[in-house]
Amino acid sequence: MLVRLYDLPDFPSEAKVAAAGVTVRRALPPERHFVTAWVGAKFNNYWVSEVEMAMSQHPVTCWIAVRGNDLLGFACHDASMKGFFGPTGVGEAARGQGIGEALLIATLRGMREAGYGYAVIGDPGPVEFYQRRLDALEIPKSSPGIYGGMLAEPNPE
Ligand SMILES: CC(C)(COP(=O)(O)OP(=O)(O)OC[C@H]1O[C@@H](n2cnc3c(N)ncnc32)[C@H](O)[C@@H]1OP(=O)(O)O)[C@@H](O)C(=O)NCCC(=O)NCCS
């Protein structure tokens, strides 16, 4: 999917999430082990590798949602490809409260500040999530896109 970054809308979830005591911010390099372990426990190893990439850049291109000392979600850009948004995920217990959207808009604004005019969502998964507030366009003939031929995890026997 393709997203214009120069006319991003306001997302009401930002204020809602802040009012609920959740902070959405750029992750810090010393938090890398913490964020990658959390993503590995809740999601998959491909995303761990992508988060490692995002957490190794200066400035870091991974945003996190935190309440107190609890990590609730993450979103990256420039992980697999320059100009790509993702991966992103919110812990199951914290879903449906606007955190995914708040992470999305914070990361897209970060991309705009980094000099991009457009973002590519390389592997969107729930397309409706991205189309709800963003006027995101599906890119024809782009599946599996850059991920074609990627090594697969062995099946556990
Ligand atoms: C997709 C995901 C990040 C959304 O996080 P979230 O915090 O639950 O999302 P929000 O609460 O901000 O949802 C905002 C809106 O999008 C909608 N939405 C959320 N997830 C959706 C989905 N999978 N499909 C369609 N709509 C969705 C919500 O219903 C909500 O609408 P509402 O305000 O009318 O209730 C989360 O469900 C997740 O981690 N999923 C597994 C990982 C994944 O698929 N990541 C995306 C691919 S990289």
**In-domain check, residue 150:** no
C-alpha to C-alpha distance for 29 and 36, rounded to whole angstroms: 11
Using the mean position of ligand 1's atoms as its centre, give its distance from the Cα of residue 150 in Å: 26
Expressed as residue numbers, the domain containing 48 is 2-140
Q: 3-class SS at 64?
A: strand
Atom of ligand 1 nearest to the CA of 43: 42
Q: Is 85 exposed, middle or buried (0-12, 13-18, 19+ CB in 10 A)?
A: buried
Q: What is the mean pLDDT of residues 8-22?
A: 96
Sorting pLDDT into bands at 50, 70 and 90, what band is 154? Answer: confident
| Lowest-confidence region among 34-43, 44-53, 119-128 | 119-128
**In-domain check, residue 76:** yes
Evaluate if residue 21 carries a pLDDT over 70.
yes
Query: Helix (H) and strand (E) counts for the chain?
Result: 5, 6
Mutate to test the pocket of ligand 1, among 108, 129, 133, 134 (most ligand atoms within 8 A of CB): 129
- Count of structural domains, the chain: 1
Evaluate if residue 26 carries a pLDDT over 80.
yes
Sorting pLDDT into bands at 50, 70 and 90, what band is 157? Answer: low
**In-domain check, residue 87:** yes
Which pair of tokens denotes residue 69?
């000392």
Q: Report which of 137, 85, 146 is spatially closest to residue 114, judged by C-alpha positions.
A: 85
**In-domain check, residue 149:** no
Query: In this structure, what CATH number is given to the domain that contains residue 50?
Result: 3.40.630.30
Query: Whole-number mean pLDDT of the chain?
Result: 96
The DSSP symbol for 146 reads G
What per-residue confidence (pLDDT) applies to 37? 98
Q: Summarize pLDDT for 87-145 with one digit per residue, the tens.
A: 999 999 999 999 999 999 999 999 999 999 999 999 888 899 999 889 999 999 998 99
In the chain, the amino acid numbered 11 is F
**In-domain check, residue 156:** no
81 within 8 A of 55, measured Cβ to Cβ: no
Nearest-CA residue for atom 29 of ligand 1: 96
**In-domain check, residue 153:** no
